[in-house]
């Protein structure tokens, strides 16, 4: 089963270690697959770290979407869809995606016909971050924190990434304040949101929220809208982008080998959520 077909019932979370960006960008001559506007954006970024991270994010996005669509990475085109979200143009398979990064890690969440959002944060939470987040919590969320003791900083971090993922999924960005909706059920499998401004296309009761300790230093929040044709929670497959890239796409100047069809059994698969046994074919 192809990756595109699997997205009917899965969400794919792709991870790129920033330490792998430099060599991969050289081996695959990533500058050549960027659009003119992407090159201009890359050049406008003032800091080397930001330019480096931008290049890694575009490499991740273009090669993954190329695998889903069969379109060469350099030929993919993007437009602006509902909620001002970037999307493929054309997009016959209704692929949805969201890109996020934190120090040391870039993530790309992909779904089919489901709005999705991802947000990262490093652990443990910095005291100044925890203080800033508290100011943007809804009243019920603040009451929850006040009832806690030692776990307060950790719960604050969970609110931060879950609320951030939800806003990213909507494409709302800074146009909506994080205290305008309430996250409930943190620490359980029943995380939800109460949002009186939820758009009709993505009603609050249809969302699937996830919070996980992704690595020893990174926490991740995910928000995935429901599909009326396929209600219920969907499993999330976690994949290593660098392993996948080198297995599926030949580096520039290297003759292509036999065609490799990426599937859930790919060596790139790290593990899956929820209730899926960790996979390791290595």
Fold agreement between 1-92+234-282 and 115-231: yes
Chain center to CA of 53: 15
Please report the pLDDT score of residue 239 as a whole number: 93
| pTM of this structure | 0.83
Q: What integer pLDDT is reported at residue 173 of this predicted model?
A: 66
Tokens for 270?
Answer: 């790290």
| 24-32 CB contacts, 8 Å cutoff, 24+ apart | 24/59, 24/242, 24/245, 24/246, 25/55, 25/56, 25/59, 27/251, 27/252, 28/59, 28/63, 28/245, 28/249, 28/251, 28/252, 29/252, 30/55, 30/58, 30/59, 31/55, 32/74, 32/252
Q: Say yes or no to pLDDT of 219 above 80.
A: yes
Name the superfamily (CATH) of residues 115-231.
4'-phosphopantetheinyl transferase domain (3.90.470.20)
Domains of the chain by residue range: 1-92+234-282, 115-231
Of the pLDDT bands very low, low, confident and very high (cuts 50, 70, 90), residue 181 is confident
Structurally, at CATH architecture level, domain 1-92+234-282 sits in Alpha-Beta Complex (3.90)
* Residues 87-118 pLDDT 10s: 999 999 999 999 999 888 999 999 998 999 99
pLDDT > 90 fraction of the chain, expressed in percent and rounded: 41
The mean per-residue pLDDT over the stretch 222-237 comes to: 84
């Amino acid at each position: 089963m192809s990756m595109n077909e699997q997205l009917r019932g899965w969400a794919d979370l792709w991870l790129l270690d920033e330490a792998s960006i430099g060599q991969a960008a050289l081996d695959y001559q990533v500058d050549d697959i960027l659009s003119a506007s992407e090159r201009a954006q890359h050049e406008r970024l003032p800091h080397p770290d930001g330019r480096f991270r931008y290049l890694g994010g575009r490499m991740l996005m273009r090669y993954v979407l190329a695998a889903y669509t069969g379109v060469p990475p350099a030929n993919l085109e993007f437009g602006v869809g509902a909620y001002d979200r970037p999307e493929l143009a054309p997009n016959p398979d209704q692929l949805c995606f969201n890109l996020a990064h934190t120090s040391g890690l870039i993530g790309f969440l992909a779904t089919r016909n489901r709005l999705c959002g991802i947000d990262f944060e490093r652990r443990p939470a910095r005291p100044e971050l925890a203080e800033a987040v508290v100011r943007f919590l809804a009243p019920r969320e603040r009451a929850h924190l006040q009832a806690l003791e030692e776990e307060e900083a950790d719960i604050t971090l969970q609110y931060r990434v879950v609320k951030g993922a939800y806003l990213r999924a909507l494409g709302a960005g800074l146009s909506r304040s994080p205290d305008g909706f309430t996250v409930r059920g943190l620490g359980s499998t029943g995380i939800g949101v109460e949002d009186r401004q939820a758009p009709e296309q993505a009603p609050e009761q249809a969302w699937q929220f996830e919070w996980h300790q992704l690595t020893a230093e990174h926490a991740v929040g995910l928000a995935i809208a429901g599909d009326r044709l396929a209600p219920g929670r969907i499993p999330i497959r976690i994949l290593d982008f660098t392993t996948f890239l080198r297995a599926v796409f030949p580096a520039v100047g290297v003759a292509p080998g036999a065609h490799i069809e990426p599937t859930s059994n790919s060596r790139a698969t790290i593990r899956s959520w929820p209730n899926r046994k960790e996979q390791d074919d290595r």
